[in-house]
Structure 1
Amino acid sequence: MGGTDGDHGSLPGRDREQALLARALQSAAEGSPRALFVHGEAGVGKTRLVREACQASQLRTAWGSCVRFAAAEVPYTPIAGVLQDWLNSAGPTERDEVLAGADDLAALLPSIGFGTAIAGGRLVPLVDLVISRLADRRPTVVVVDDLQWADAASLDVLAYLIAGFRNQPLALIATCRDEARSEGHPLHGWLADMRRMPSFEEIHLERLDLESTADQIAGLTRHPRDLELAAQVQAMSDGNPYLTELLVRDLPDPQAAPIAVPDALRDALLAQWHGLPRESRDLTRLLAAAGRPVPLAVLTRVAGEHGINPEYVTDCLTEAETHGVIESTNGTPWFRHPLIADILYDGVPQTAAGKVHATYVRVLEATPDADAADLAAHSHLAGRTDDAYRWSLQAADDSGRLGAPAEEAIHLRRACDLWESVSDPIRGSVHDRIRLLRRASSAYAKIGEPGAASALLDQAMDLVDRRTEPLLAAAILTSRSTARWSASSPSTPDLTDAQDAVDLSSSDPDSPEHAMALAELAALQVWDDPTASAVHARQAVAAAERSGSDEALTRALCKRAAATCVTSPPDALTDATRAAHLALSHGNLRDLQDATIWRLNALAELSRYDEFLTEGLTAYRRLIDGGAGKFCHLLPFMLTDGLLDNGRWDEARAMIRTALAARCGGISGAGVRLAASLLAVRSGQVAEATLHLERAEELVPSTFPGLQEGFGLCGAATLLAEGKPREALDWLKRCVPTGDQAADDLGDEVLFAYAEVAAELARTARDHQDPAGVTEAIATLDEVLAGWPTEPFTTGTPAATMHRALFEAERERCRAGADQPDRWLDAAAACRETGNVWGQARALFRFVESGLSEGRPATTLSESLRAAYRPAVQMGATPLQRDIEALALRSRISLADPAPATDPGPDTESLGWSGVSVPGRG
């Protein structure tokens, strides 16, 4: 259960931190879930603080620990520990009920059955299901100790749990060493994402001051406080509670300070270890070399090969545990504090350590369930480079099957680093090395680390002769271009690699490599030079068709769809549909995602929104289940607005949660955050919406053409919810400017957003009796409309009709015109035609609001207000619900027992609620 920081008495100097933890756990027990990140240096008291807080709360606690062993990465290690900790105390009935339908968790827990590989993306929801069931039965705390050593797959699980916080009696606590988080550590990105979650808190433990150190020593020695003694100890421990404990433990004279020598701290850490018999000391050295907790059977066999009688191993471990050197969790021994393992291992000569690691290799190879990652690490430390290479590749394959792409990438990277030292028969040719580098690069691209992907391709390019192998060079350059664009600001693409790839592959214009290079060049030009992009996309399709390569044709069709999506959406839809079929046939999930994105964009341009949602959701689930990695999470951004408009908010929440847990960077990450911001603001969680919006802007500039409308709409909605219409207008102007700076393809919904902001500006001015402000708001909207780059609302589609009706209604509200009720009724009818439940509910609310202001009898408006209220409640649109309730109270309209809906319409099921007609229309 991790290291034990501090003494076994009270916790001096930690009153504030104990109170914070106690409040958080109490809130969790009452149904307000919390995530806490407790961090500080090693030995400062993190584990002890958390353990005592959990014990005091009397909540069910399941504990898992992360471990570090060289470069070994075993997916889901702490998560498996948490589940096993619960299993060890669960009765048969609870076990059966909680694990019902979760048989695939045997992939993590062999103790519940025979584990098999499962489809990527399925394991995380299963863990969430089990944890949720535990919390439903009894308030639960999940603790992950030493998060600095967590594998990426476990970080994804934790992010998924946190993103799913709603009303569960659940707390999640992680402890972390600060000094173990160096620059570039994966926890930095994880924390950046989690800090934007509203239920996430951080508790930093500082070293103890002199007064607190004196209190600690008094508790340890059971003698009165002695500041002079405390000062001498503090000079050596520097206020670190664990080092203080080791320094004063077993002092012959409790009033005398330990001898202050340069190695005092190291000696203090090993003070109890030195008191062990020789065989126990030797055994703990062998345990330290294991790098992580190992089964007793494995340690026993290793000990037997190094002169320790296997019959004495249990007694030696008992002796070490009695002396406080190790502790045993579920029968598996490990050190009471990881620092002891580090010091013991560092004290073993390299030659002797190599022999121990070689023994571990022999023993683990004979163990059926040994991890390839451990074998790779031990082989490497034993100097058995060929075996380390072989086991690294096996560990990569195992991680891939388990749906842990980050671990797969790490193992492939180690294999790449080892290649030059591996014997020729094992490593193969230079071309085998190039293939390995490209595979590793693809793995890093999949987990959203384009910088690492690009660096690996740099190595591959160094091995290729452009003159003799121009097509291979072109293929690598094309991939590197994609990686470099993903790693840089998306608004500043560098065409160099793509253009070089086109030039090199032009020696064989009918090759797949030439088609792929042209497609890459077209993709980079789509925002800044759409004309050139369209030309190169057409050339790419022609070259791909000549080449006969389905993969090249898929890529080229996607880029041609991107280039023609706005100018010719039917053609774009045809290309994207064909590309999707091809991507499915050759199993390329990245191409399937690209094809889906442009198919959805084309469907949106054609206002075929039912198909848009149905096909988008199907494709997203297929990508997740197939283990597509981080690059598929741009789809939630595209789908969220439609789901929210359609009233399918629970589906939107589930999708956004999955995407947030993936912790994407770049465009995908920003898109996910924008989707989460929109959901949060419509749900009334404005502070959360702001956090998501800020994180999105950290990832991508808000003016990036591919996301600028999303930034504009989400930011404006958030600022309006905060009662800041002036700031909302400024935000819109910055993200989606009009006039000379306007983009040619601004959506109609942006114009509606401008109208809503102007209407709020005018309302605020009227409330403050500011006629000049009203005039300014009206003039602002007229100016925006006059500067629109195209004639709006002219496509003739139901969506265009809806946006026009909503715009006209907001413009009438801005002017406080007498036609407001009729305009809002028209808007409600238009929303109903497109299945826009959210828009219809808001329009009906505005209809009633304006109708009452015009003096219409409340009795003629009551059914309309109830018709707005029903979906607002069902969706969880808290601000709209409160506005309706306040209006009903003021006008004495009853919202209870609404009359049955009339004219439910032909497609109420797809709306997610029982359809209603628009009252007030004959």
Structure 2
Amino acid sequence: MAARSGGIGPAFVGRSRELDVVGALVQRAVDGESGGLLVFGDAGVGKTALVQQACSNADPDALVLVGACLRLTSMTVPFLAIRSALRAAPRDVVSLPQLPPGDTPANVPVAFDAWIDDLCRERPVVLVIDDLHWADRSTLDVLMYLLAGPAQRRLALIVTARAGELGDDNVLQRWLADIRRLPRVEELALEPLDRVETGDQIAQLLGAAPHQSLVEDVFAHTHGNAYLNRLVVHDLTATARHLPPDLPGDLKSAVLESWRSLTSAARELTRIVAVGGRPVHPRQLSDVTSRPVDAVLPLLHEAVDAGVLDQSARGGYWFHHPMIAELLQQSLDPDERVRWHAAFAAHYEKTVTDAAPTADGSTPVEPMVAVADHHYRAYHPAEAYRWALRASDAVGAVGGVSEMLRLLRRAVDLREQLGSAVEDRQELLLRLMQAACDAGAHEEELRAIHLLLDEVQRDAQPLLVAELLVRRAHLRFTVGHAFLSASDMRSAVAFASREPASWQHAFALAELAHAKIWQGDPGAPALADQALAGARTSGHPRALSYALTAKAMSALVGGDAEEAVGRATEAVDASVAARDYWAYFNAAVWEANALEIWASRTFADRLRLRREQLAALGAPHPYLAMLSAEEASSWLAVGDWRECLDRLRVALGSDPGPFADVSARLAAARLAALQGRPAEARGHLDRADEVFIASSGYPNFTFDAVRAEVCLAGGDPAGAVEAALAGANSPGMPPTMCEWLLPLAARGLADQVEAVRVVGGDPTPLLRAVDGLTARFPSVIRDFGLPTELWRRQVRALEGLYLAEVARAREDADNQGRWVAVIDDCHEGQLAWEEAYACWRAAQALLVRGHQRERAASVLRRGLALAEELEALPLQTELEELARTARIPFGRVDSGAPSERTNRSASSARLPGLTSRELEILDHVVAGRTYGEIARALVISEKTVSSHISNLLRKTGAANRVDLARLARARQGRPRGM
């Protein structure tokens, strides 16, 4: 996902709400109202970066003065932060006040305030003081006087401070109490980055979208601290999937900085707390360490005062940042660590034994889990195994599916180390499989199924084998190993057919029909009918849901929308009764498909409804992420990119699992490509390819079309053609977004033809490829499904786009009419991105070939308004440049000379055969200057300008000055359009 904010550094992401708060304060100062803002947060959370980012976005007339307080140990420098702000002042700030050395004179706050007052009359002033927790008293006095100053002046005062370094007796604490009573002073508590923002920051630091497993590792360690994120990935490459076991030395130093300030006794005790692994109470530490509570409490309080530990409302103590615990555990000698784990195991085992039963008669869960964990880390395998099983039952009873899965996974591993165990291995694996299913841990569930298939007696348990084979096929599909395999389903049907009245037989038949529908097998509908009859006879909701979905798919392929909707809706209800979330996802998507095509608001709205229902059912995040990612693609297709971003944040808010990861990556890659961030787009696509290696083998994903769009955004039209044709020529059912493939292929060819013509090359081989394309595909590929009116309009729009791109390659003289028609067709088809693109091409054709200035101006402004709303920056740039060249006003003033625009000078393009004066004039033509403006700029006559432009048209073969500017820009090799 894109980081929407720009930045002063390479890794500023997110923080839109916080930026709005700081930006509003600065804007009020620009408007004449003074105010102050206190920004609090942990060390490294990003306070300074936030303020710098907000100031970089401020009014350019505002003067930003930045000073910093320093932690000096042997001396005090009066007005230190104020002095540093004045030293860093721009050179155009004259008459800086002279601050006296030594102790604070009483008149300094007044004098400095008067100087600020004079400065604010000239321009708005933003005074930033960083790290206020180290401020000297004289600086605090000056800031107090400024904040208490006049309300009507153009001053914004922003200070940052570490929340964990403001002790009860601190001078700053008393200063803050007074400041909070003043009007126009606000506070902003800066929280760590969330998981999505952490992923965005890592992407910027590594230069590509990271693998989700790396994001999980980093977030688990840093909890979103921006500075720690930077340190922890410093030596990694973009292909890293996990953090190395040994964390960087700089990270350890930063994390343990406050801990090293503790006394040796407090450091020793906090190491023991770290071994405990969870919040501990003083009496627990007393029992574990055999120390009196009165000896433990002062050390805990010392750690709290230093910001190392926090005390919860329930009286427990745990680390302010969990990474401190991890590093302190690592710092212990292994034997010492084992000894303390054994002590904690004994303590918690006694706690469980002595605990009174809860109201429902059960034993408290948390100490049981602690016993299991500490026995495991103390290398007591038999005790760890026994307590892992006992604790897994306890946490499962209260809905802790993830914790239950972790404990069962450990029990399975420990069972192999024990000579004997009471529990049957197959039964244990079935429990593990179910726990993984409940947690949405698809890869873990798949591993359990592989182990079970090796364990079960196939002749004695054919129904279990059939169920496992079908579920294995689902999971292999979900984790990207293979698309739904008809051969696997046939094997499952063969095993289940030994009991044809069983629900497993109907289940296997339904999924065999499902796989065959994707293959276009004409026998699939009959299998779906047979599966549905068997499922209704068995009365099993799981089999019924899959059979109904297969029947819905069959009806949709056959064109019966009414039946498809009814069957899919019934399938959703059956999946709820079965609590089968994979069945729910499958049924919900096909229900939406039966209502309207995927590129529609209707489709997205239905998925939103089902996602909200699934969340209410308590489904694990990977299934919610799967629906969210599908929904995001639909919102993006209809141009609602903000809603798309919101859904991607839901999908990636926690580990989404491979399926949703890929789906979200493809949507994010497409959005980045359309909005002009090709490197980000390529990173997302690369990660999707990592997860699903045989990407083109998944027809329900958009790999081929998105790959083509990413190639176009990156200036690789040949790669776009290759990607689009890979999807167009794929066997079986056409892939999602198949209707886009041929327009994208034609566009790639047209771009290549234009590039060859610009340099005077021979485009004949490329034109033969265009002819071959239209001979092989005379019209766009149509996906199977419901031929709704919206679908017909989209097909008509994409068909028109295909033909217009072909005509562009062939330089058809009357192609402007095609482009104009495509604009309206795209609008009727709710294809906003394509509509904006068509506006650019239509305006270009009308100006270059059609000489229809008024109509071109209308089309151009329409496209520019769309591009601005979509934030399609490449298109916006093309349309603005076209408007300047044609001297069409579009609501913006470009006062810069040609060389001042962002890389828009054409002189570097070096069109062959031009003189230096002609190249100079060409720069002005590209910038949209009139003959008179060029003449005045170059101190020549308009007649001479006209003569030079006539020569330029003759030498380049351009039809007019608009065409000339187009050729010059194309010569620069810049990626064009979306």
- 1:845 equivalent to 2:831? Answer no
Counterpart of 1:390? 390
Q: Relative to structure 2, which stretch is displaced further, 677-686 or 530-539?
A: 530-539
Alignment CA distance shift 1:728-1:340 (3 Å): closer
The change in CA–CA distance for 1:560 and 1:24 in structure 2 (over 3 A counts) is same
Indicate if the aligned counterparts of 2:699 and 2:734 stay in contact, CA closer than 8 A.
Answer: no
Pairing 1:313–2:308 present: no
Which structure 2 residues correspond to residues 591-610 of structure 1 after superposition, within 5 A?
591-603=583-595, 609-610=600-601
**In structure 2, what is the Cα distance between the partners aligned to 1:23 and 1:295?**
28
Matched, 1:654 2:638: no
The answer to whether the 8 A contact 2:341-2:374 is kept is: no
| Structure-2 residue corresponding to 1:249 | none
The equivalent position to 1:814 in structure 2, one of 809, 814, 827, is 809
Q: Is the CA contact (8 Å cut-off) linking 1:289 and 1:356 kept in structure 2?
A: no
Specify which of 774, 780, 784 is matched with residue 785 of structure 1: 774
Please state how far the C-alpha of 1:823 moved relative to its aligned partner. 0.8
Shift of 1:667: 4.1
Computing the radius of gyration from Cα coordinates, the structure with the larger value is 2
SS of residue in 1 equivalent to 2:888 = coil
Alignment of 1:409 onto 2:446: no
Displacement of 1:638 after TM fit? 4.3
Query: Which digits, 9 at most, give the CA deviation of each residue in 1:168-205, with x for residues without a partner?
Result: xxx999xxxxxxx9xx99956989xx99x9x9856667
Aligned equivalent of 1:613, options 587, 604, 619: 604
Distance 1:510 1:330, change over 3 A: same
Any stretches of 5+ residues in structure 1 without a counterpart? Answer: 1-15, 34-48, 50-54, 63-82, 96-135, 144-156, 174-180, 207-236, 246-268, 899-922
SS at match of 2:192: strand
Deviations 1:646-673 (A, max 9, x none): 2311101111222234444544322221
For residues 385 and 542 of structure 1, do their structure 2 counterparts lie closer, same or farther at Cα, with a shift above 3 Å needed? same
Q: Which has the higher contact order (CA 8 A, sep 6+)?
A: 1
2:46 matches 1:30: no
1:715 to 684, 690, 707: 707
Structure 2 distance, partners of 1:821, 1:789, is 21
1:691 and 1:455, CA in 2 relative to 1: closer, same or farther beyond 3 A? closer
Task: Output the CA distance in 1 between the equivalents of 2:599 and 2:849.
Answer: 37
Matched, 1:538 2:560: no
Query: What corresponds to 2:858 in structure 1?
Result: 863
Instruction: For 1:733 and 1:243, locate their aligned partners in 2 and report how far apart those are by CA, in whole Å.
Output: 51
Q: Return closer, same or farther for 1:354/1:297 CA change in 2, 3 Å cut-off.
A: closer
User: Quick check: 2:536–2:544 contact (8 Å CA) kept in 1?
Assistant: yes
SS class of match (1:355): helix
Give, in whole Å, the separation in 2 of the partners of 1:577 and 1:525: 22
Q: 1:282 to 1:879 in 2, by over 3 A?
A: closer
Q: Does 1:830 align with 2:825?
A: yes
The one of 699, 705, 713 aligned to 2:697:
705
Deviation at 1:768, TM superposition (A): 1.9
Contact 1:708/1:735 (CA < 8 Å) preserved in 2?
Answer: no
Q: Which amino acid aligns with 1:863?
A: S
**TM-score normalised by L of structure 2:** 0.59
Instruction: Give the counterpart of 2:431 among 436, 441, 461.
Output: 436
| SS of equivalent residue, structure 2 residue 804 | helix
Answering whether residue 739 of structure 2 is matched by residue 748 of structure 1, we say: yes
Query: Across the two proteins, how many residue pairs are aligned to each other?
Result: 695
- Residue 289 of structure 1 deviates from its aligned partner by 5.2
Equivalent of residue 696 in structure 1, options 685, 688, 698: 688
Give, in whole Å, the separation in 1 of the partners of 2:677 and 2:662.
19
**Equivalent-residue separation in structure 2 for 1:462 and 1:741 (angstroms):** 33
**Contact 2:632–2:644 at 8 Å: present in 1 too?**
yes
Contact 1:644 1:838 in 2 (8 A): no
1:159 is aligned to 2:196:
yes
8 Å contact from structure 2 (residues 535, 544) kept in 1 = yes
Match of 2:365 among 347, 350, 372: 372
1:573 to 1:351, Cα distance in 2 relative to 1, 3 A:
closer
Q: 2:192 aligns with which of 126, 142, 145?
A: 142
Shift in Å, 1:847: 1.7
Deviation at 1:522, TM superposition (A): 3.5
Rate the CA distance shift 1:509–1:850 in 2: closer, same or farther, 3 A.
Answer: same
Q: SS where residue 142 of structure 1 aligns?
A: coil
Shift of 1:616: 2.5
Supply the distance in 2 between the matched residues of 1:200 and 1:241 (Cα, whole angstroms).
Answer: 12
- The 3 A distance-change label for structure 1 pair 572 and 751 is farther
1:793 and 1:801 in contact (8 A); partners too: no
Question: Would the aligned equivalents of 1:519 and 1:555 in 2 still touch at CA under 8 Å?
Answer: yes
Which of 277, 289, 295 is the aligned partner of 2:281? 295
> Taking structure 1 as reference, are residues 781 and 576 closer, same or farther at Cα in structure 2, changes over 3 Å only?
farther
Query: Residue 882 of structure 2 is aligned with which of 887, 893, 900?
Result: 887
Contact 1:841 1:872 survives alignment (8 Å): yes
Q: Quote the offset at 1:833 in angstroms.
A: 1.8
1:761 has 2:752 as partner: yes
Amino acid at match of 2:295: Y
Paired residue type of 1:142: P
Q: For 1:162-201, what aligned pairs fall within 5 Å after superposition?
A: 162-163=199-200
Provide, for residues 116-169 of structure 1, a one-character-per-residue CA deviation record: whole Å limited to 9, x for no partner. Answer: xxxxxxxxxxxxxxxxxxxx96594738xxxxxxxxxxxxx5235545999xxx
User: Given residue 859 of structure 1, which amino acid in structure 2 is its aligned partner?
Assistant: E
Q: 1:693 to 1:59 in 2, by over 3 A?
A: farther
Return the offset for 1:286: 6.2
In the alignment, the residues of structure 2 paired with residue 475 and residue 406 of structure 1 have an alpha-carbon distance, to the nearest angstrom, of 23
C-alpha deviation, 1:852, in angstroms: 0.8
1:620 offset after TM fit, Å? 3.3
Q: 1:471 aligns with which of 463, 470, 477?
A: 463
CA contact (8 A) 2:696 2:703 kept: no
Taking the aligned partners of 2:833 and 2:199, their CA distance within structure 1 comes to: 27
What amino acid maps onto 2:776 in structure 1?
G
Cα 1:492/1:342, change in 2 over 3 Å:
farther
Alignment-mate amino acid for residue 389 of structure 1: L
Query: What SS class does the counterpart of residue 696 from structure 2 fall into?
Result: coil
Quick one: which amino acid aligns to residue 821 of structure 1? Q
| SS of equivalent residue, structure 1 residue 30 | helix
Match of 2:891 among 884, 889, 896: 896
SS of equivalent to 1:817: coil
Query: Partners in 2 of 1:17 and 1:723 — Cα distance?
Result: 24
Deviation at 1:549, TM superposition (A): 2.2
Equivalence map 1:70-469=2 (5 Å): 138=188, 140=190, 142=192, 157-159=194-196, 162-163=199-200, 287=273, 290-300=276-286, 302-303=287-288, 307-315=290-298, 328-330=309-311, 332=317, 337-341=328-332, 343=334, 345-346=336-337, 348=339, 354-359=345-350, 361=352, 372-379=365-372, 381=374, 383=383, 388-396=388-396, 398=398, 400=400, 406-414=402-410, 433=428, 436-443=431-438, 446-447=440-441, 449-450=442-443, 452-458=444-450, 460=452, 466-467=458-459, 469=461
Q: What is the CA-CA distance between 1:510 and the residue it aligns to?
A: 2.1
Pick one of 506, 515, 531 that aligns with 2:506: 515
Q: Deviations over 1:386-418 (max 9, x none)?
A: 654333333345564xxxx64453134346567
